[in-house]
Amino acid sequence: MSSSVTLRRSRTPYLLLLPAVAILLLGMGYPLVWQIVTSLHEYGLAQQFGQPAPFVGLENFITLATDGALWVVVARSLAFCVITAAVTLVVGTLLALLMTAVTRTARLILQVALLLAWSMPVVAAMTVWIWLFDWRRGVINYVLDMIPGVELYRFQWLASPITFFLVASIIVVWMSVPFVSFSVYAGLTQVSEEVMEAAQLDGANGWQRFWSIILPLVRPVIAIVLLLQLIWDLRVFTQITMLQDAGSKASDYDLLGTYIYKLGTSAQDFGMASAVSILVLAITIALSWFYIRSLLKEDQQ
């Protein structure tokens, strides 16, 4: 009797997980399989009207491997996601530390402000940001032009790739900081106050307490937050697309998301677009592998 009860209990968690796993496989498995199959075919405009898609095998991937323009976009996207994720992590961590240091009222005001920024729809937020950086009547140019020695009257922020991606980075960081701040703050609340007081009595300054005590304790939270930010910033699309609509649609302003979109919509080459999507998936798995490997090492220890 006891053995049957034990067996039933051991199966219960798997049975409870089964519906969620089935929905996940159906929702994510089918698009992934469709992309893999499409990447192995020549799928263009004619195929959308019912013509069969010729099987080309790995020809799309070989074409991509020899396409210098793609690797420029890949390098640009990786640099963009690493820089924005790093800046987001630093700013978010500083705001989380600020939450632990200020009064309850100030912390509540800060948290409400972060929640409002986080909950704002992307399109609505982008409309405001594009207006702020508008070269004709933007507030940013007006305010900066008032600084002595700075001449930014009618400066076109979206007219060159450097300033274009600078604006994009500011927007992406602004939209991502609340998530990092709340996540790190949740980790900071688990740091023992007795340990911090003991370190302070031993003569440790603020930097030493942060580096030797706080950072090791919240490192798991920072690791998963950084990984998520890298993945999200690698796949950023809406912000870049709307900035391109307000500025230039040239290839110098593309990241992987807009590059795939243009392959599928403008070039009508869905086979190549699917191949690039598989490449993005491979990069995402490569970025995730470092974190997964560290988790496996911790489990073994």
**What percent of the chain clears pLDDT 90, i.e. is strictly above it?**
34
The predicted pLDDT at position 90 comes to 94
State the Cα–Cα distance between residues 148 and 144, nearest whole angstrom.
9
Per-residue pLDDT reduced to its tens digit, 106-139: 999 999 999 998 888 999 999 999 999 988 888 8
Per-residue pLDDT reduced to its tens digit, 18-67: 888 888 888 888 888 888 888 888 887 777 777 787 888 888 888 888 88
- Report the run of H or E that residue 228 belongs to, with start and end: helix 215-234
The predicted pLDDT at position 300 comes to 65
Q: What values do phi and psi take at 195, rounded to 5? A: -65, -40
On average, the pLDDT of the chain sits at 85
Instruction: Out of 1.10.3720.10, 3.40.1110.10, 3.30.460.80, 1.10.287.3510, select the CATH number for domain 68-300.
Output: 1.10.3720.10
Given a cut of 80, is residue 145 above it in pLDDT?
A: yes
**171 confidence band (pLDDT: 50, 70, 90):** very high
How is residue 42 annotated by DSSP? -
State the Cα–Cα distance between residues 108 and 102, nearest whole angstrom.
10
Per-residue pLDDT reduced to its tens digit, 73-97: 999 999 999 999 999 999 999 999 8
Helix (H, G, I), strand (E, B) or coil at 129: helix
The predicted pLDDT at position 269 comes to 83
The predicted pLDDT at position 1 comes to 46
The predicted pLDDT at position 4 comes to 56
State mean pLDDT over 183-210.
78
Given a cut of 50, is residue 299 above it in pLDDT?
A: yes
